[in-house]
A and B are shown apart, each in its own frame.
Chain A
Amino acid sequence: QIQLVQSGPELKKPGESLKISCKASGYTFTDYAMQWVKQAPGKGLQYMGWINTQTGKPTYADDFKERFVFSLETSASTAYLQINNLKNEDTATYFCARALIWWGQGVMVTVSS
């Protein structure tokens, strides 16, 4: 069955970087793009963008064009989200999703000094 398993929770300080993973199984990884969605505590869903798993080309929504990097490790069927120069407002749960149908369990990221 299709599964997206994300890495564990993160606690970081402002200015630090982090990289969270999303490992796919149950399908051919390069057949489908991977989407990323942010959900701040108590807030709604915010679409961050997607990465073409065949070419590695990322596309970012406007709010995520700086400091955010989507990448792949195709041999491991894994997608990554890197956030640089973390800010308090990056505190959120980050989801990966295939076609917004199959979702990972989410990674809770807390940024606090």
Chain B
Amino acid sequence: DIQMTQSPHSLSASLGETVSIECLASEGISNYLAWYQQKPGKSPQLLIYYASSLQDGVPSRFSGSGSGTQYSLKISNMQPEDEGVYYCQQGYKYPFTFGSGTKLEIK
């Protein structure tokens, strides 16, 4: 199975700050990488698919980049509603696998 190593485990940021979350795949995944946000008691919400494509309705302060085995999610101009846990997920090979999550809090 493809392992997804996500960092950091947790992060705190001030309003208006820019933050980045990294995801490293154990093998190349050809940009089949998605990012999700999950808030307590809720289902995950898709933010980014195919490494850098913004899902409909997601604010443009979210962006994704990367290739090969290394990918990142950037959140610009941190807002209160951006608090939550963020997961990466590879969709290149079954079984699909998720990163361990990054908890993002407001400082």
Contact = CB atoms under 8 A, between A and B. Distances in A.
Contacts, number: 44
Contacts of A35: 96
Interface in A86-113: 95, 97, 100-101, 103-106
Nearest to A64: B95
A47 B94 CA distance: 10
Interface in A30-74: 35, 44-47, 49-50, 59, 61-62
A103 B94 CA distance: 19
Interface residues of A, number: 18
Given A100-B46, A103-B43, A103-B45, 10 more contacts: A45-B36, A45-B98, A45-B101, A47-B89, A47-B97, A49-B95, A50-B94, A100-B34, A100-B96, A101-B49
Contact of B43 (A47, A49, A50, A95): A95
Interface of B: 1, 34, 36, 38, 43-46, 49, 55, 87, 89, 91, 94-101
A103 B39 CA distance: 14
Q: Which 10 A-B pairs have the closest CB atoms?
A: A61-B95, A103-B43, A45-B98, A44-B101, A47-B96, A101-B46, A44-B100, A47-B95, A45-B87, A106-B43
A62 B1 contact: yes
Contacts of B38: 45
7 contacts: A44-B101, A45-B38, A45-B98, A49-B95, A100-B91, A103-B43, A105-B43
Interface of A: 35, 44-47, 49-50, 59, 61-62, 95, 97, 100-101, 103-106
A91 to B, nearest CB: 16
B89 A100 contact: yes
B44 A45 contact: yes
A62 B94 CA distance: 10
B98 A44 contact: yes
A101 B49 CA distance: 9
